[in-house]
Amino acid sequence: MSSLPVSSRSLVHARRRALQQVFLTASVLNVGFNSVAHAFVGQTLLGWSATNVIAPIGLMAVVVAIGGALFRPEVVSRAIYAAVICVVLFFIINSASSVISTLQAG
């Protein structure tokens, strides 16, 4: 037999059900879990684009510069400019969170 009175058992059961519903709702809505603090809006998207778009374009520009050096030297300067622009954009995007936090700190 349980040592709790009937009303206490029902109260414990009601609290357990309420906590289960809160945790279920929080997990479905992903509230409070995996919340990452970003320095600015779109930081994840910019980080993704830096690694998955800008870096491969810069690598392709270097490959074009090397290949173009064999056949057409005027292509080399344009490809090197594109590679330099990609490197600058990659650096700016990857250091943007520290720049924004420095600007916000004053």
Residue with tokens 């005027």: 74
- The tokens for 5 are 């009175």
Same domain, 73 and 53: yes
Same domain, 12 and 57: no
Same domain, 45 and 83: yes
Same domain, 28 and 44: no
Average pLDDT over residues 25-31: 69
Same domain, 9 and 55: no
Q: How far apart are CA 99 and CA 106, in angstroms?
A: 11
Eight-class DSSP state of 53: I
Predicted local distance difference test score (pLDDT) of residue 40 = 67
Same domain, 9 and 27: yes
How many domains, in total, are found in the chain? 2
In this predicted structure, the answer to whether residue 1 has a pLDDT above a threshold of 70 is no
Range(s) of the domain holding residue 61 = 37-106
Same domain, 41 and 60: yes
Same domain, 30 and 42: no
Could you tell me the pTM of the whole model? 0.54
